[in-house]
Amino acid sequence: MTDMLVKLYNLPESGSSISNRVAPEIKIRKPMASEKSLVVGWVRENFGESWGNDYGYAIIGWAGPQEFYEKAVGAVAIPDSTPGIWKDWLGETE
């Protein structure tokens, strides 16, 4: 499967449909520009420094089915990303 790229800054407003499925005290929405430092700080704390430096895009690794991600978030396939970082993996093999 291939990796896919998502433009986080270009996502449609869809948080309301997700919010209906979680606890009432949880609100899901895009952050405002003035909240960028709060969001990036949280990302760095929970995922590491390098993730905090790459806030504008997201990568969906080994995405499948691709059509779902294309429709849901406008993801595009990253050329030549199969097998990607997994080509020399020391874990289980099929």
**pLDDT of res. 53:** 83
Exposure letters 70-84 (e unless 16+ CB within 10 A, then b):
eeebebebbeebeee
Q: Which residues pair with 28 in a beta bridge?
A: none
Q: What is the mean pLDDT of residues 45-65?
A: 86
Whether this prediction's pTM lies above 0.75 is answered by no
Confidence of residue 87 (pLDDT cuts 50, 70, 90): confident
Each domain of the chain, given as residue ranges in start order, spans 4-85
* Mean pLDDT estimate for the chain: 82
Cα separations in angstroms, 10 against 18, 27, 64: 18, 20, 21
What confidence tier does 94 reach under pLDDT thresholds 50, 70, 90?
low
Extract the tokens encoding 58.
């997201």
The reported pLDDT for the residue numbered 25 is: 77
pLDDT value for 38: 93
